[in-house]
Structure 1
């Protein structure tokens, strides 16, 4: 077998990738384990704000002084880093006077003293560090746009930690430097986030200041294309959203996945922000992402019932209800596919919904429902298992074929509840068919659900009461036979429970339904459906 050539292109490429990976690992992890070279007395002086001890440790010898100040901690922090982090302005002035080059020093996390001071919110230290190098524009630029290992600049750290005064100082500094500073690097942060991305998550006032300082930041996206408006909506900050939407064109800026702000609001379930976006930007219902989905598609896929309800009750959003995505699925297709029954019923109650739209696979919503039911069979008992009698049958003797447990009252209870399960399954199928049959649009589909359910629920209109009474009578006979058992009070309790249960079932308050179609005359439908969400199924 031929041996691969050493130094081939593939080998060199793999070796280069490994080398780059190792280099990044060293730059971000390994260098953080540096040796502690700072003198203990110096560390004690800068952490306790002891000016006298600092002067005593450093002495008067310039060479010794600079050598001592080059000492670092295990995390690579110099004495200036520590003093700036604590906000000790006098110590910062002393150290910078003794060794001004420490202003550019970086820790193992690539933090400069300016970044440390901005993160801690010490605006006086920030102002002093900037003023020391204000005469050298090149150094100013390098200092201001320097970023740490997380990609955050001094401004981004100030905004992220809510230090408004530090932000103001940095903004004024940038304005004085004008075009000298690389603006994009100046306000950039991790993953391409700008300072405005961080500001919208902190406060409305800081967002307003950043917006007034650099209006173009509102249109700048991060590495994933998300603007500050995307972040504000995701965090549910309605005040910041209203502030940013003073420029309504921001609502039409998508991210890399094609998700507009209205899609984000629908995904996270902020119904009040969705309403606000539709109010300020009426054509948001036409915005589609890279998958061809509108806001209603996204709300359904993520189970946001309140958003779906608000959209469905708005007459002007008919187009959204029947819009197909790139796979041809309407919102009703998705509601059924993801198993959101309440959403599916809510959408079907709307007369604007077309039930005959097929997706790219040629499936209508009803076809999808049937397909999903078939898929669920793998997670449930089969029909044969349901009909299998527990305990088996007697194999020999005069009672061949009789269930082994036939003399136990629990066995009869099992058979009774199995019958009831099939009874209610039939009702569910009938209701689905009544609701899904396409008809002329004037007929209210809500009545087509209520009418058959009312007919079924009232025992005088069905055989349910008779069948249940017969089964209950058989159950009572079986229990009475057990009164001679060792625990009669348990059997008496079972009898009383059965009687009470039957009384409750037989007296469910269901309104009488007169002859005629429900949409041809007015009826008192109060109480016809008691499913907890009255606004969902009650006809208006």
Structure 2
């Protein structure tokens, strides 16, 4: 056997001369010497073995493979030609199958052995029609191996080749899976009907292309025939629904360009592709639909439960998608579903309260009504919503660790700001001074700003610490109780940064004003990013309403609503917006006023006789 592996003809010749009976020996896997010679492509050794015992050509190993299978796997076309010439029962040898029902042609197709497949097809073209135990034809196997040459050999044979694959698939399904345009082109020229064949799930090749997102192949198949785009699988999904589910915008563009009525197709639940895109949070597709004038019906289409895409967006609590839909004036806000709820009532849930409130006030600000049912009928409905207890329990778990983290942050700021109040920059005056024990830098504007900022930071952090104790109460809704704590800690942290910048400034200003100004400007720049994110929600709400209503409509809406309902955000009303605006002004003033003071004094030093200087600095 070792000589057969190495191809040592002389050593094997000696064994064959003296012990011909050893040819009957096999390995642990049941492979004979002829199997091994075919595996390694040793033509001379194979000829020698067959000259001693031709019956080995029909021998099987443990997986029921013949030496012809091994030669096909190795791509040994010379050995295949030799086996064909020596076979006593040629058709039986060529049609022999292994334990999975695969012929030698299956093996050659799987391995992409072009020469081997050519010889086998020349000997028996009918091999192309044999499928294995899994329903796989040689053509399907050749497509999966991406061998265009073997595909051409099989479909160009005198005999009709099978295109079957597993689970009812065809060779064109396989071409869609591997995304091969060349093989697809050959298959379409051979059998155009393959575009309509469905597998065991009811999927056409277009379904697979819609999932992979290859719009070039999609265009290739649509040029052949557009009718398969209307075929739905056994779940009612058409290719456009699959593309929407997977977020394949390029596929949707191709389908719409060929079939403009694609938007009217619905799945088994009556949902169009926009419903599905919202369900799977595909924001790019939602944005595309909102900008396209063709999809007016799609934007307001209802499913079997009467829900529009906006209903689903509100229920999914996706703020970006809700904004995209609200900005579009063709989206109707007050469509009522079969439960008697419109979009504003669909977000009336106790779980994730801050986000629900934000969406609710977006809808109300845009002019949505509260539905066709009496409000008292809806009053206790949220308490009996299916799955609400589980949702609230998950939210409770989310907030469980929040008090500990917030308490650590607030106490840390309390400690730092308290210590800063008794560790003044510049030190203290001597006891023999008129104001002995007072800070040396007292009276300077920047020092006064430092004291004010440190005091405010200490006050906010203490308030946050006390509020954490209140947050432990189960009486208060968890999503409400932590919002003020976050605001207090955020302002305390920002004011602590301001106090630090002012302390550095007051020490460095006499030595280097450029460095001192830089120390004020850098914290302002970095913390402004945080402030912009912190105040993002109210401004986002204003932008959404402005894009839908316009500035004039926005103004009329503000006049029509009560003042405290104009910009409600999260768990707060208009005071949330005004308070954050006040924080922005306050924080900017802490940095900008000292800089203005420095520039003013510098100006007065160079313009000593100016009336403005005498007014401000005497």
TM over 0.5: yes
Alpha-carbon RMSD across the aligned residues, in angstroms, is: 4.4
Residues 431-458 of structure 1 show CA distances to partners (whole Å, capped at 9, x for unaligned) of 989989xx99997679969x95599999
Matches within 5 A, 1:177-216: 177=159, 181=160, 186-200=162-176, 201-216=178-193
Matches within 5 A, 1:115-194: 115-134=106-125, 140=126, 143-173=127-157, 176-177=158-159, 181=160, 186-194=162-170
Which residue is 1:42 aligned to?
34
Tell me whether 155-164 or 338-347 shows the greater mean CA deviation.
338-347
Q: Could you tell me which of 65, 82, 87 is aligned with 1:77?
A: 65
Are residue 271 (structure 1) and residue 249 (structure 2) matched?
yes
Are residue 419 (structure 1) and residue 484 (structure 2) matched?
yes
Give unmatched runs, 5+ long, in structure 1.
Answer: 1-33, 135-139, 392-406, 473-498, 507-540
TM-fit CA distance, 1:35:
6.8
Distance 1:431 1:93, change over 3 A: closer
Tell me whether 90-99 or 216-225 shows the greater mean CA deviation.
90-99
> Contact 1:431–1:453 at 8 Å: present in 2 too?
no
Determine the C-alpha separation between the residues in 2 that align with 1:421 and 1:187.
Answer: 64
Tell me whether 304-313 or 345-354 shows the greater mean CA deviation.
345-354
Matches within 5 A, 1:2-21: none
> Contact 1:75–1:107 at 8 Å: present in 2 too?
yes
Determine the C-alpha separation between the residues in 2 that align with 1:413 and 1:502.
Answer: 23
Which residue is 1:298 aligned to?
276
Q: Could you tell me the TM-score, scaled by structure 1's length?
A: 0.65
Are residue 355 (structure 1) and residue 333 (structure 2) matched?
yes
Distance 1:351 1:421, change over 3 A: farther
Which residue is 2:309 aligned to?
331
Which residue is 1:378 aligned to?
393
Determine the C-alpha separation between the residues in 1 that align with 2:556 and 2:50.
Answer: 90
Residues 470-506 of structure 1 show CA distances to partners (whole Å, capped at 9, x for unaligned) of xx9xxxxxxxxxxxxxxxxxxxxxxxxxx96885899
Which residue is 1:528 aligned to?
none
Matches within 5 A, 1:124-523: 124-134=115-125, 140=126, 143-173=127-157, 176-177=158-159, 181=160, 186-200=162-176, 201-246=178-223, 247-371=225-349, 373=351, 375=388, 376-381=391-396, 410-415=461-466, 418-419=483-484, 452=566, 462=578, 503=590
3-state SS of paired residue (2:228): helix
Q: Could you tell me which of 65, 75, 94 is aligned with 2:54?
A: 65
Determine the C-alpha separation between the residues in 1 that align with 2:574 and 2:341.
Answer: 36
Residues 117-160 of structure 1 show CA distances to partners (whole Å, capped at 9, x for unaligned) of 111222332232222235xxxxx2xx323222432110001111
3-state SS of paired residue (1:56): helix
3-state SS of paired residue (1:316): coil
Determine the C-alpha separation between the residues in 2 that align with 1:441 and 1:116.
Answer: 68
Residues 239-271 of structure 1 show CA distances to partners (whole Å, capped at 9, x for unaligned) of 111111112223222222221111111111111
Tell me whether 409-418 or 440-449 shows the greater mean CA deviation.
440-449
> Contact 1:337–1:369 at 8 Å: present in 2 too?
yes
Determine the C-alpha separation between the residues in 1 that align with 2:299 and 2:169.
Answer: 35
Tell me whether 210-219 or 452-461 shows the greater mean CA deviation.
452-461
Q: Could you tell me the TM-score, scaled by structure 2's length?
A: 0.57
> Contact 2:315–2:347 at 8 Å: present in 1 too?
yes
Determine the C-alpha separation between the residues in 2 that align with 1:386 and 1:69.
Answer: 73
Larger radius of gyration: 2
Determine the C-alpha separation between the residues in 1 that align with 2:336 and 2:44.
Answer: 83
Residues 156-198 of structure 1 show CA distances to partners (whole Å, capped at 9, x for unaligned) of 011111111111111111xx33xxx4x6xx1010111110111
TM-fit CA distance, 1:316:
2.1
> Contact 1:230–1:261 at 8 Å: present in 2 too?
yes
Residues 362-402 of structure 1 show CA distances to partners (whole Å, capped at 9, x for unaligned) of 221111111363645333349x99999999xxxxxxxxxxx
> Contact 2:210–2:242 at 8 Å: present in 1 too?
yes
Determine the C-alpha separation between the residues in 2 that align with 1:242 and 1:58.
Answer: 54
Determine the C-alpha separation between the residues in 1 that align with 2:257 and 2:86.
Answer: 61
TM-fit CA distance, 1:296:
0.3
Give unmatched runs, 5+ long, in structure 2.
Answer: 1-26, 352-381, 383-387, 408-457, 468-481, 491-533, 559-564, 594-618
Distance 1:440 1:71, change over 3 A: same
Are residue 55 (structure 1) and residue 47 (structure 2) matched?
yes
